[in-house]
Amino acid sequence: MTDLSQKNTPVIRPYQTTDRESCLAALDANTPDYFAPQERALFEKFLDDIPGTYLVVEVAKKVVGCGGYIPVPDTNDVHTSWGMVHPDYKGYGLGKGLLEARLDAVRCMGDAKRIRVTTSPATESFFLPYGFTVTRREKDGIVCGIDLVEMWLEL
């Protein structure tokens, strides 16, 4: 774990293309515990053309986490996208702060009625305290060996 002193207060800010390698490093560090190796190519494509808003968490000017959200056209739905924190920085509330920043931003949009998360059984419990409820499970729904858990939060 890393020391987060007051001088290393986390900063959440919009993603920049210069953050790409740090975001990929966070994904790699969370593979295979939370992501499958074959998801890296999908994440690379996502970072090449981000369809919504994507944020990063910085500690001491180092990007250690990322996550975003995508409004679904012609609906009042928003989907979260690629949320993660580098394992060296887990346990400091950075994932919580990043999720709360995304939820606050979605609420500020004003027209969103619900937010969707797709995750795996390994991380579904992270979202429950925020009011997300499981609406669907699909065996091998992410990749072979990793089930998909779909969760929604009504706003």
Q: What is the pLDDT of residues 68-125, one digit of tens each?
A: 999 999 999 999 999 999 999 999 999 999 999 999 999 999 899 999 999 999 999 9
Q: What is the pLDDT of residues 54-83, one digit of tens each?
A: 999 999 999 999 999 999 999 999 999 999
Q: Which domain holds residue 51?
A: 6-154
pLDDT, position 8: 81
> What one-character DSSP code corresponds to residue 72?
P
Domain total of the chain: 1
In a domain, 89, yes or no: yes
Cα 52–Cα 56–Cα 57 angle in degrees, nearest 5? 150
Nearest-angstrom CA–CA distance, 79 and 77 = 7
> What pTM does this model have?
0.92
In a domain, 57, yes or no: yes
Classified as helix, coil or strand, 50 is coil
Question: Are the C-beta atoms of 151 and 135 separated by less than 8 Å?
Answer: yes
